[in-house]
Amino acid sequence: MPVSPVRILVVEDDPDMSRFITRGLGEQGYAVDAAAAGEEAIGRARTTDYGAIVLDVIIPPPDGFEVCRRLRAEKVNVPILMLTARDALGDRVEGLDAGADDYLVKPFDFAELLARLRAVLRRGGARQYPVIEVADLTVDTRSHLVARGGHQVNLTSREYALLEFLAANAGRVVGREEIALHVWNEEFDPLSNVIDVYIARLRRIIDRGREPSLIHTIRGSGYVLDLRTGQGA
How far apart are alpha carbons 34 and 54 in whole angstroms? 9
Strand order in the sheet with 151-153: 131-134, 137-140, 145-148, 151-153
Report the 10 Å Cβ neighbour count for 16: 8
Specify the pLDDT at position 228.
64
Predicted pLDDT at 5 = 62
Query: Which numeric CATH code is attached to 7-123?
Result: 3.40.50.2300
- The predicted structure's pLDDT at residue 61: 93
pLDDT at residue number 154: 93
Looking at residue 211, what is its pLDDT? 87
CA distance 205 to 203: 5
Q: What is the pLDDT of residue 196?
A: 92
pLDDT of 232 reads 44
pLDDT for the residue numbered 177:
84
Which parts of the chain register pLDDT below 70? 1-5, 86-90, 124-129, 185-187, 228-233
pLDDT of residue 231: 44
Measure the CA dihedral 189/195/197/201, to 10°.
150
The pTM of the whole model exceeds 0.95: no
Strands 222-225 and 102-105: unpaired
According to the model, what pLDDT value does residue 172 have? 87
Which one is the CATH code of 131-225: 2.40.50.140, 1.10.10.10, 2.60.200.20, 3.20.140.10? 1.10.10.10
Query: What are the domain boundaries of the chain?
Result: 7-123, 131-225
Sheet containing strand 7-11, edge to edge, reads 31-35, 7-11, 52-56, 80-84, 102-105
d(CA 192, CA 220): 15
